[in-house]
């Protein structure tokens, strides 16, 4: 009844139909089945996305390849694997006869190959485009040196193994000559300031050497072009500030700059299976260590011990800080529910306060961070995705006071039971 009383809408008649005319109806047409949507797992995204990004940047830049300081640790290993994935995808495209990719490959490599060159394998292509270097010191272990060499051999990179103790000694000697005092490592009686300065000398020398070798190694091989330098600092180290400003985290590109340590470990496990690289077992079982101080049978430098928190904990802090917008107080209240079964309220509060303290005092490092491939919401990049200020009051006076008051109330309630 309501429809009958409704006002008629004006109709415009046109000379076409949006549906099949009755005379043209085909009853044999059948609907297609829905196409299932496939989402890549995080490890697959790390394997494919940054690799395509690197290739696009390389061919647009007109440079002759990439240079990577290969430390023998998980982070530089993951970066090398991404370049290996790039080579695999480029070789596959060449095998399909993709003329644009073939043109780009020949242009990047230059006169070192024939005009009709087609790469036969990812390792062969890496031998032209990918240079790696282990920059050891007296503090480096035989294990990391061997891991770097084994991985370079497996993926086919042009690998250099060097010791830079002479350069480190020259800088320390120069300082001692000028200042009249020679700094010592903490394990040899030096202060924390001396210990940190000596570590930073090694770290920053590696950046200098990386750019030197990126410019001249192709020249040694009679190649016409220079190389792009790759960094390998993960997102957790950036949040915590656990790296030296202007060390090997400073480069032209960083394929893993927005990837957490936990996701990188999953990626290396993925590559172990899908790329048939048994050498990766050595990296997965190794303890993360900067190897910047002397080690002995009773002491080995450990990243997680020095940071005062594990990489898994850092990943949680980073997601809560960025994705959930948590400050110190709200982060503690969240973690009291998540970690309450394994940590006391005061331990949780101490970990959160430690994180925010180091996050604050090291925030200035993010203003010079290397451009990275971004695929996650927890990335800390100051220049592009995280516009928070870089100068913080590291004491967090109000927030930490509220946290302490809350923990006191919790402990008093527990004691009264």
- Write down the pLDDT at residue 383: 53
- Is residue 126 within 8 Å of 155, Cβ to Cβ? yes
In sequence order, what are the residues at sequence separation of 6 or more whose Cβ sits closer than 8 angstroms to the Cβ of residue 399? 327, 328, 329, 356
* Nearest-angstrom CA–CA distance, 46 and 35: 25
Task: Output the pLDDT for position 68.
Answer: 98
User: 378 and 235 in contact (C-beta within 8 Å)?
Assistant: yes
- Give the predicted TM-score (pTM) of the model: 0.86
Assign 158 to helix, strand or coil. strand
How many angstroms separate the Cα of 329 from the Cα of each of 19, 380, 398? 60, 20, 10
Query: Considering the chain, what is the average pLDDT of its residues?
Result: 90
Distance CA 375, CA 364 (A): 23
The tally of CA atoms less than 13 A away on the side-chain side of residue 412 is: 6
CA-based nearest residue to 321, from 309, 308, 334: 334
Chain segment 181-191, per-residue pLDDT in tens: 999 999 899 99
Token pair of 65 as six digits? 């390849």
Q: What are phi and psi of 336, to 5 degrees?
A: -60, -35
pLDDT at 322 over 70: yes
Closest CA to 133 of 227, 28, 51: 227
pLDDT in tens, 52-77: 999 999 999 999 999 999 999 999 99
Q: What are the b/e assignments for 131-159, b being 16+ CB within 10 Å?
A: bbbbbbbebbeeebbebbbbbbebbbbbb
Q: What is the pLDDT of residues 209-243, one digit of tens each?
A: 999 999 999 999 999 899 999 999 999 988 888 99
d(CA 35, CA 303): 46
C-beta atoms surrounding 274 within 10 Å? 12
Please name the helix (run of DSSP H) or strand (run of DSSP E) that holds residue 179, with its range, or none: helix 165-179
User: φ, ψ for residue 135 (rounded to 5)?
Assistant: -105, 90
Q: Could you give the 3-state DSSP secondary structure of residue 392?
A: coil
At 133-174, the pLDDT tens digits run 999 999 999 999 999 999 999 999 999 999 999 999 999 999
pLDDT at residue 21 greater than cutoff 70: no
Tens-place pLDDT, residues 237-280: 888 889 999 998 899 999 999 899 999 999 999 999 999 999 99
Query: Alpha-carbon distance 34 to 31, whole Å?
Result: 9
Encode pLDDT of 100-141 as tens digits: 999 999 999 987 778 889 999 999 999 999 999 999 999 999
Query: What whole-number percentage of the chain has pLDDT above 90?
Result: 67
**Token pair belonging to 242:** 């656990």
User: Which DSSP letter does residue 106 get?
Assistant: H
């Amino acid at each position: 009844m309501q429809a009958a009383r409704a006002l008629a809408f004006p109709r415009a008649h046109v000379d076409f139909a949006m549906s099949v005319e009755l005379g043209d109806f085909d009853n044999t047409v059948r609907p297609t089945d829905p196409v299932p949507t496939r989402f890549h797992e995080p490890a697959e995204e790390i394997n494919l996305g940054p690799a395509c990004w690197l290739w696009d940047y390389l061919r647009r830049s007109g440079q002759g390849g990439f240079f990577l300081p290969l430390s023998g640790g998980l982070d530089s290993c993951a970066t090398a694997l991404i370049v290996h994935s790039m080579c695999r995808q480029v070789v596959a495209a060449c095998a399909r006869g993709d003329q644009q990719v073939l043109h780009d490959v020949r242009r990047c490599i230059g006169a070192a190959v024939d005009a009709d060159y087609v790469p036969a394998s990812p390792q062969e292509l890496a031998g032209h485009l990918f240079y790696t270097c282990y920059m050891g010191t007296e503090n480096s272990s035989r294990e990391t040196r061997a891991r770097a060499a084994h991985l370079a051999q497996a993926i086919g990179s042009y690998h250099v193994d060097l010791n830079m103790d002479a350069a480190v000694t020259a800088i320390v000697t120069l300082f001692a000559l000028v200042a009249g005092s020679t700094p010592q490592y903490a394990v040899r009686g030096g202060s924390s300031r001396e210990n940190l300065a000596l570590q930073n000398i090694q770290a920053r020398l590696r950046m200098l050497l990386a750019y030197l070798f990126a410019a001249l190694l192709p020249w040694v091989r009679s190649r016409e072009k220079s190389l792009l330098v790759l960094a390998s600092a993960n997102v957790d180290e950036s949040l915590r500030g656990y790296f030296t400003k202007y060390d090997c985290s400073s480069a032209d590109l960083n394929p893993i700059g927005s990837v957490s340590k936990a996701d990188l470990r999953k990626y290396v496990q993925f590559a172990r299976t899908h790329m048939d690289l048994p050498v990766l077992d050595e990296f997965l079982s190794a303890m993360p260590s900067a190897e910047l101080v002397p080690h002995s049978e009773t002491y080995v430098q450990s990243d997680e011990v020095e940071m005062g928190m594990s990489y898994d904990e850092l990943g949680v802090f980073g997601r809560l800080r960025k994705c959930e917008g948590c400050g110190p107080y709200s982060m503690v209240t969240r973690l009291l529910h998540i970690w309450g079964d394994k940590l006391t309220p005061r331990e949780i509060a101490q970990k959160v306060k430690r994180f925010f303290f180091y996050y604050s005092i090291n925030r200035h490092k993010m203003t010079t961070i290397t451009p990275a491939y971004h695929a996650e919401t927890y990335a800390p990049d100051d220049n592009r995705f995280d516009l928070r200020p870089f100068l913080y009051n590291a004491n967090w006076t109000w927030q930490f006071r509220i946290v302490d008051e809350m923990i006191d109330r919790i402990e008093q309630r527990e004691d009264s039971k």
